[in-house]
Amino acid sequence: MGVADVLYYSIHLQELRSIIHWKTWHNPVHEREPDKESVSLKVCFDFLDKTSRSFSTVIQELHPELLVPIALFYLILRGLDTIEDDMTIPIEKKDPLLRDFHKIVEKEGWSFNGNGPDERDRELLVQFHYVIEEYRKIKPVYREIINDITLKMGVGMADYCKRAADGKESVVTIGDFDDYCFFVAGLVGIGLTRLFVESGLANPALKERPQLQISMGLFLQKTNIIRDVKEDWDDKRQFWPREIWSKHVSNFEDLFKPENKEAALNCSSEMVLNSLNHADECLFYLAGLKEQSVFNFAAIPQSMAVATLALVFRNPDIFKKNVKITKGLACQTMLDSTQNLSKVCEVFRKFVQQIRKKNTPKDPNFLKISVVCGKVEQFIESIFPSQSPQAVERAAREARLSQEPDAVKAREDAKWDMSKITILSSDFGKD
């Protein structure tokens, strides 16, 4: 811990307590048994630690039935992503690798050393034969699911890389943005749901709700794209759709110029608005997870995402550097997200209220942001009613706000079909 950290946590004692609490008192629902693992599986878990600090912990606490399949699912998609991300691989070589990666994972002994020397996760592909060796051992039904998602994701990634290589703008419309996020993250939500249900650890009704599955992935991916805008731009990559940023600046690079600070903030808040539209569906999805470790695995990233949205909302620092929530806040959020749906809803409510407080009438999307925040709080209130004076006042304020002429369309876009909530909640209550 550096001097800056010491000073920070000397002021933010609650966050320091959260770090200590998580490291000292957190008891995993399930634990790995490394002594019983093969050498190749141990290598896979080492790569899991190296490639994802955030997902590694929750994956390694999963139910034994899903521990290895999901760890391998993550590593396979990370390998695919490492090829797609590497700008040093020419499109003539990259395109067939992406499109055929689902076949590659079936090839015993395959590895790849064609990544650039600075590619962060290149070593995973250099030693990918360990992943393939373990993948070939898991149940055929799990391999089928993983292979199907890898195929679809690889084709989607290849199409976007081809467009970029041809000099075409990859993400022009909001529809393009949704499509891209679907291929790199929404498909993950679908694949994980199939694994959850196939293992018997989630309610089968979730398989019939594809929009909920997709929203789980899109909420995470869109939030990361907002947070990483400066890092992506430095790497000559851009994912914010022209349909949004062109309302605020003439050229995308103008977002990073100090003289355009207010326009950049308004643009970023519209991006946050787009991501927040998935928040209530993520909470709805979590209601269908029956086993605690699976719930924790799904809930923690969603809670981290809404905390990140609160951090980046109208935050000029995202155009200067990569911003992240503090370790203390992360630990507190994880503690609150490993209990039950009610606690996760409290996490969402807290950070949505922070966004609401930072919202300003000067923002062109002020009304829409207020309405979508109200939509999330309304959903939480519908399943965990609160009669606090603050909740009553907020409800009254939202009712008044919703009558503004400019909010009519936003209200229609944000409206939740309460009859569907009743039906789905009934479905999720069945074992």
CA distance linking residue 384 with residue 67, whole number of Å: 32
Task: Write out the E strands in 36-126.
Answer: none
- Active-site residue, from 128, 183, 295, 297: 297
CA distance linking residue 179 with residue 184, whole number of Å: 9
Exposed e or buried b per residue across 74-104, where buried means at least 16 C-beta atoms within 10 angstroms of its C-beta = bbbbbbbbbbbbbeebeeeebbebbbebbeb
Catalytic residue flag (residue 180): yes
CA distance linking residue 210 with residue 187, whole number of Å: 10
| Neighbour count for residue 261 (Cβ, 10 Å) | 12
CA distance linking residue 348 with residue 307, whole number of Å: 8
Catalytic residue flag (residue 130): no
Query: Integer distance in angstroms from the first to the last C-alpha of the chain?
Result: 46
Instruction: State the helix-helix crossing angle for 174-181 and 210-227, rounded to 10 degrees.
Output: 100
CA distance linking residue 99 with residue 84, whole number of Å: 11
Catalytic residue flag (residue 120): no
- Active-site residue, from 101, 128, 177, 180: 180
Catalytic residue flag (residue 297): yes
CA distance linking residue 315 with residue 324, whole number of Å: 12
- Active-site residue, from 32, 194, 227, 349: 227
Contact 171, 240 (CB under 8 A): yes
Amino acid in the structure at residue 378: Q
- Active-site residue, from 237, 252, 256, 366: 237
Contact 104, 83 (CB under 8 A): no
CA distance linking residue 312 with residue 307, whole number of Å: 9
Catalytic site positions: 180, 227, 237, 297
